[in-house]
Amino acid sequence: MAIRLPTTVRNIAVDAVVDLLDAGSGAATIEVRTGSQPASADSAATGTLLATFTLADPAFGAASSGTATLAGTPRSTTGAAAGSAGWFRAKDSSGTTVFDGSITATGGGGDLELNTVTISVGVTVNLTGGTVTMPAG
């Protein structure tokens, strides 16, 4: 038998996770990296750091139906290296990892969506949306 969560509990769980991004005195960041996402968010970051976005503070809105949506999008930054975005790592203002996730181009259904997954040095890249979802089970 599988564990299933009601919507109220899913919302509480997602809010607890995304609220960790707002810890500390500044805004959270998202690092966009090349390659495959590590096996665990506890693992060292892999791949080339392509870009870093500074998020709104608070970073996410309140959860609804088990999903929290990134606040203040679109957000822009410039590429620090050239490559294809493969995954992201979200960190609080102290640099502590809170979660990792998938990246796609806008409309591709990734946890984080960018206007393009091909990033170039010094060229603007836009974070167009993102979500964190607690599955119902």
The answer to whether the CB of 60 falls within 8 A of the CB of 66 is: no
- φ, ψ (nearest 5 deg) of residue 90: -100, 130
The reported pLDDT for the residue numbered 2 is: 83
pTM of the model: 0.94
Query: Is 16 in contact with 134 (CB distance < 8 Å)?
Result: no
Closest CA to 130 of 108, 46, 121: 108
Write down the pLDDT at residue 46.
Answer: 97
Which amino acid is residue 16, in one-letter code?
Answer: A
- Residue-wise pLDDT for 96-133, tens only, equals 999 999 999 999 999 999 999 999 999 999 999 999 99
State the residue for tokens 């805004």: 27
Coil/strand/helix, residue 21: helix
- pLDDT tops 90 at residue 1: no
**In which band, very low, low, confident or very high, does the pLDDT at 23 lie, cut at 50, 70 and 90?**
confident
pLDDT at 24 over 90: no
Residue 61 has pLDDT above 80, yes or no: yes
Percentage of residues of the chain with pLDDT beyond 90: 93
Find the helix or strand (DSSP H, E) in which 12 lies: helix 7-19
Residue 137 is predicted with a pLDDT of: 73
